[in-house]
Structure 1
Amino acid sequence: MSSGPSTKTPLRAFWHDLPREGRLLLSIVVVEFIGTGLVLPFWVVYLHEVRGFSLATTGLLIGVQPLAGLIAAVPGGGLIDRIGARLVLVGSTTLVLVGEAVMAFASTAPLAALGFALSGCAFGVSFPASQTLVATIMPSHLRQRYYGLNFSLLNLGIGVGGIVGGAFVDVHRLWTFQTIYLVDAATFLAPLFVLLVPLRHVTGRAEHDEAETTKPSYREVARLPGMRTMVLLNFVASFVAYAQLNSGMPAFARDVAHVSTQGLGLAFAANTLVIVLLQLVVLQRIEGRRRTRVMVVMSAVWALSWVLMGASGLVPDTWGATVLIATCASVFALGETLLQPTMPAITNDLTTDRLRGRSNALASIAFQVPMVLAPPISGWLIGHHQQVPYVVGLVVGCGLVALLAVTRLEPLLSPTANGVGVRGPLDDPPPGTAADALRESAGQP
């Protein structure tokens, strides 16, 4: 037994351990995402009930954002590697600020499409850029904790924003919706200031050797050991999980379980609350454990959440159905707290500095494509009364995630990439690290 400090680094020690740049980035997360929470729940209400667009037009307009993000992600990854993540984030933050301001005055469909296109392009490159910037600032042994804490603060901001927005907006007063969009735009001034002033010395870019004869490319990213499997895992996990939470679960709750809109709102509130309350606890529990095995637990948790959703269809139009849907969203949130610290950390430990922007962009694309594909598929299955095959398919898909993590990804990961090979100054050696290192040096799996 070690006589040193506890293997579970407390939050205070973690904050003290962070580089100054990391503390600056975390300090503005809540402010930035309060603005997102103000507008995110009310897209359909604003466009359909306030601006008067038909539901069909509203659906098309909302679809512009993820489509624009996918289109921007590929060139965005290359741009990150070429000019640095910080400058790309400055550009994307400015872009989303303008996009949200346009949405405040989107009285016509083309204006609304422009607003969604601007914000979609911004979000398409901001995710890989922010992941890259964090990876260049944070040492490897702190990234998992950083990504998890960032996710908790992000959800806290969205939750607070949603509560404030719900209490403030009124469908009979256009100015209330214009106000929340303008406030959302203003919240991006905080990260813009941090990027332009205190972080102006950070590039978020690897120094390129002028003697290099080959330029970074996505083909080179695909050749990195484990990266193709990681991209596949991102795709499958997104398809059977996040894409369903945003589209399939609400459709199932409304059309099969007959849960009220208030009940659905309660479910999403519970989801956010669980993330905020449990993320730090989960971070301490998974520290020093194999990330691939954490993903197995994550898959089992998600499978349970879909079983609970399916059970709600057995007692439609009852309080029991509402409780089951809320429990489904809460259990799903536990899986989210396992996902967010691990998968981005693996991606950034698999790649190299010169390919970091493209690697994060590729992971982002793999995660975003199901957001476009899943809604029509889940909508068709639920609309054609195929709820049993739908739920069974999701549970089997969660099993596939676990299988890929253990049988395909784990053998390709070094102890460091799998979260057991690096320790920080405040950590004891995680269990199994020495054994893993000996097996690796001996050429054993």
Structure 2
Amino acid sequence: MPIARARRALKESVSGLPREFWWLWTSTLVNRLGAFVATFMTLYLTLDRGYSASYAGLVASLYGLGGVISSIGAGVMTDRLGRRPTLLIAQSSSAVSVAVLGFVQHPVAIAVVATVVGAATNASRPAVQAMMADIVPPKDRVRAFSLNYWAINLGFAISAAAAGFIAEYSYLAGFIGEAVMTLACAIFIYVKLPESRPEQGGPGTADASAQEEQERVSLGTVLRDGRFMGMVGLSFLISLIFMEGFVGLPLAMGAAGFSAADFGLVMALNGGLIVALQIPLTRYIEHRDPRRLLIVSSLLAGYGFGLTAFAGSIAVYALTVCIWTLAEMVNAPTQTGLVVRLSPVHGRGRYQGMYTLSWAAASLVAPVLAGTIMDGLGAAWLWGTCAALGTVAGVGYWGLMRNLPPALTGSEIADAAPVTVPKADGAARSPIAADSPSD
């Protein structure tokens, strides 16, 4: 009986989503199977190249700077050029730059190429999220974002464990492997995914109002959206917690005498837990109050990393990973769904770009902050900072979302006006329910 219930729950979790979503889901999985640079950059620079923690933090920050630079530009490209061209440009550029990073030797060259890698890698995110919002009806978006997040972590769980052992043999092999997988993902998108950007009408057409709406949405529109920008600020704090942890954890484990393979196995637990629990957890949180979910996840993230101050063995490190992984599983789909809910249809690229900027900015700030704290004060101060940031973020979500309009009900979604999205050949495909003003 439990097996039958599990099968039924799995079927309900994956059924009813558009075919295009599953192609996008598969491309996400392929891309994450090749992930190496972001996970092992600090170990590569400190253990393999012999650089200091401060230099490793600087390079990781430049990687984040590249993401900051590309976030807004990629968001605008997503709205203007389309989702598919943006993805192709971003992932092809990422594949080339990652391969180059594996060969450069001079510290300045490493820093420059790492910046390019960060920009290219980050540029695909607004397009992926906007495309997913285009092709998935509002009532299914939290589920779709959770499934996509599940794919990210399935790939991460496999690649982290494998890459840890690859790094023991050759870091260069890891860079080349990521480049090949990213290029394969770019080709896959070109072959399988049609453009999903909502059709733009010209003057005198039935879609003229949609065209006018698109022209009204600018970066200034996003910046003047107080609630959305407040959420971006809180997202930055959450991102800072995770980024500080991801940069500080390999440094702390390396200083304690643990190997790259040990770190890879601990990080694989993060992905493994998400693979095992994300789908059933999504069924639990899908229709619950997002404010409570974001508050709880903020506290779990902060104090989960905070407990790392007391870790001295693989088992204790694993326990802390379990705590902040739960926060990650709740926060990621809830917050992504909220971004789409607050974004106008024809401005999704720009809104997603600004949201992506919060993570990119954290990638810029966190490595320098983590390296400086660890070099000057010690790891315990870093983990205490994470706990403090989680508390501030939890209070912030409580204040920001007190008057958030309710989401659409299932019947209201069914009555919403359709948005027609073109196929790759220019013909219109079946309508998708549009967002209401409150969605």
Show the counterpart of 2:193: 199
- 1:351 is paired with a residue of what secondary structure? coil
Structure 1 residue 59, shift from structure 2 partner:
4.9
Structure 1 unmatched runs, 5+: 1-5, 313-317, 428-445
Matches within 5 A, 1:261-272: 261=259, 264-272=263-271
Show the counterpart of 1:137: 135
* 2:100 pairs with 1:102: yes
Matches within 5 A, 1:326-405: 326-385=318-377, 390-405=382-397
Structure 1 residue 42, shift from structure 2 partner:
3.8
AA in 2 matched with 1:101 = A
AA in 1 matched with 2:94 = V
How high is the TM-score relative to the length of structure 1? 0.79
- Tell me which of 165, 168, 181 is aligned to 1:167: 165
AA in 1 matched with 2:19 = R
Show the counterpart of 1:302: 301
Show the counterpart of 2:279: 280
Q: Distance in 2 between matches of 1:60 and 1:396?
A: 24
Structure 1 residue 91, shift from structure 2 partner:
0.7
Structure 1 residue 35, shift from structure 2 partner:
0.9
Structure 1 residue 283, shift from structure 2 partner:
0.5
Q: Distance in 1 between matches of 2:226 and 2:199?
A: 20
AA in 1 matched with 2:242 = Y
Contact 1:70 1:368 in 2 (8 A): yes
Q: Distance in 1 between matches of 2:57 and 2:387?
A: 28
Deviations 1:352-398 (A, max 9, x none): 01211111111111122122223333444444447666545433322
Contact 1:102 1:111 in 2 (8 A): no
Contact 1:296 1:401 in 2 (8 A): yes
Q: Distance in 2 between matches of 1:353 and 1:136?
A: 8
AA in 2 matched with 1:370 = A
Q: Distance in 1 between matches of 2:71 and 2:199?
A: 19
Q: Distance in 2 between matches of 1:410 and 1:125?
A: 33
- 1:207 is paired with a residue of what secondary structure? coil
Show the counterpart of 1:242: 242
Show the counterpart of 2:409: 422
Check 1:11–1:101 CA distance in 2 against 1; reply closer, same or farther (3 A cut): same
Show the counterpart of 1:217: 218
* 2:118 pairs with 1:125: no
- 1:289 is paired with a residue of what secondary structure? coil
Structure 1 residue 41, shift from structure 2 partner:
4.1
AA in 2 matched with 1:207 = Q
Contact 1:137 1:204 in 2 (8 A): no
AA in 2 matched with 1:88 = T
Structure 1 residue 299, shift from structure 2 partner:
2.2
Check 1:106–1:327 CA distance in 2 against 1; reply closer, same or farther (3 A cut): same
Contact 1:30 1:153 in 2 (8 A): yes
Contact 1:274 1:333 in 2 (8 A): yes
- Tell me which of 60, 63, 66 is aligned to 1:65: 63
Show the counterpart of 2:290: 291
Check 1:387–1:49 CA distance in 2 against 1; reply closer, same or farther (3 A cut): closer
Show the counterpart of 1:23: 22
- 2:34 is paired with a residue of what secondary structure? helix
Show the counterpart of 1:85: 83
Check 1:83–1:288 CA distance in 2 against 1; reply closer, same or farther (3 A cut): same
Q: Distance in 1 between matches of 2:357 and 2:321?
A: 25
Check 1:303–1:60 CA distance in 2 against 1; reply closer, same or farther (3 A cut): closer
Show the counterpart of 1:153: 151
AA in 1 matched with 2:395 = L
AA in 1 matched with 2:230 = T
Contact 2:270 2:322 in 1 (8 A): yes
Check 1:100–1:220 CA distance in 2 against 1; reply closer, same or farther (3 A cut): same
* 2:9 pairs with 1:10: yes
- 1:197 is paired with a residue of what secondary structure? helix
Contact 1:235 1:367 in 2 (8 A): yes
Q: Kindly, what percent of the aligned residue pairs are identical?
A: 23
Check 1:16–1:190 CA distance in 2 against 1; reply closer, same or farther (3 A cut): farther
Contact 2:161 2:264 in 1 (8 A): no
Contact 1:271 1:333 in 2 (8 A): yes
* 2:182 pairs with 1:188: yes
Check 1:351–1:327 CA distance in 2 against 1; reply closer, same or farther (3 A cut): same
Show the counterpart of 2:417: none
Q: Distance in 2 between matches of 1:375 and 1:63?
A: 5
Contact 1:229 1:409 in 2 (8 A): no
Q: Distance in 2 between matches of 1:163 and 1:29?
A: 18
Check 1:251–1:220 CA distance in 2 against 1; reply closer, same or farther (3 A cut): same
- 1:66 is paired with a residue of what secondary structure? helix
Contact 1:82 1:205 in 2 (8 A): no
Structure 1 residue 337, shift from structure 2 partner:
0.3
